[in-house]
Amino acid sequence: MGTLENKIVLVTGGARGIGRAISLAFASEGAHVAFSDIELGNAADEALALIRAKGVRALALQSDVRDFAATQVVVDEVKKEFQRIDILVNNAGITRDNLLMRMTEEDWDLVLDTNLKGTFNYCRAVSKHMISQREGKIINISSVVGLIGNPGQVNYSASKAGMIGLTKTLAKELASRNIQVNAVAPGFVETSMTEKLTPQQRQALLVMIPMKRTAQPEEIAGVVVFLASPAARYITGQVLCVDGGLVI
């Protein structure tokens, strides 16, 4: 049986990309999976079918992570359906890239509100349930650019760096309640975001990566599952880079 059999996991942005890979990885370990996404359509239906095919329960909920009240509704629905929430993965995120001098206030606010405020919203809503349970795991999906920066991504880099600060502080606040809070910082992953790269941009990127390749979403998901597993019960406040050696 899986190492997380019958655990309840909530994944934000779980309908596609890294979020879907994370949801499927948890289902493979026997966890029941709820995921939220800003819109539910074919991608969400496909994700639900793939999760249920692994013999576990699944629930999809529409939610804009920027909306504080809507976040609480989602968490309450998951708690009602499954009676508890053992693991939270804050994965939902967006990019709106541009150089600082060309970046609009709207694009700054949208990225910070989605990536950073969204993480705050879900952490706050879920943590009260984990405190009453006196156990839980929170894994925040940050990025290597939150550690090293990246030209043209001042908003994204700031949001992901903020997630790291949130992770470390929340880990200290919740450690005495047997709740571990960690972050995963992926490098460049094969998703719809990297599909937009030109051959020249991709080659320039690979030069910086010692392993000379990008990651597959499943390689990020495996690290998330590890941090949620009993093997990581004495790890908290850490940032694990999954980046092929980009940040050394």
User: For residue 51, what is the domain's CATH number?
Assistant: 3.40.50.720
Q: Is residue 136 part of a domain?
A: yes
- The beta strands (E) that lie in the chain are given as 8-12, 32-37, 58-62, 87-90, 136-141, 179-186, 239-242
- Among candidate residues 185, 198, 200, the one with its CA nearest the CA of residue 246: 185
Q: Is residue 197 part of a domain?
A: no
Distance CA 189, CA 22 (A): 13
Q: Is residue 94 part of a domain?
A: yes
What tokens appear for 192 in the block? 């719809």
Instruction: Give the pTM.
Output: 0.96
Place of tokens 């795991």: 137
Q: Is residue 116 part of a domain?
A: yes
Print pLDDT tens along the chain (248 aa): 578 999 999 999 999 999 999 999 999 999 999 999 999 999 999 999 999 999 999 999 999 999 999 999 999 999 999 999 999 999 999 999 999 999 999 999 999 999 999 999 999 999 999 999 999 999 999 999 999 999 999 999 999 999 999 999 999 999 999 999 999 999 999 987 677 777 888 888 899 999 999 999 999 999 999 999 999 999 999 999 999 999 99
Q: Angle at Cα 166 formed by Cα 162 and Cα 169, nearest 5°?
A: 140
**Alpha-carbon Rg for the chain in angstroms:** 17
What local confidence, expressed as pLDDT, does residue 198 receive? 79
Q: Is residue 148 part of a domain?
A: yes
Q: Which residues contact 219 (CB under 8 A, 6 or more apart)?
A: 189, 242
The range of the structural domain enclosing residue 28 comes to 8-189+217-242
Distance CA 61, CA 37 (A): 7
Q: Is residue 204 part of a domain?
A: no
- The number of domains in the chain is 1
Q: Is residue 150 part of a domain?
A: yes
Place of tokens 């329960």: 57
Query: Helices marked H in 53-117 — which ranges?
Result: 68-82, 105-111
Distance CA 137, CA 221 (A): 15
Within a 10 A sphere around the Cβ of 87, how many other Cβ atoms? 24
**Among this protein's residues, is 122 annotated catalytic?**
no
Q: Is residue 15 part of a domain?
A: yes
Distance CA 6, CA 215 (A): 29
Catalytic option among 156, 164, 181, 189? 156
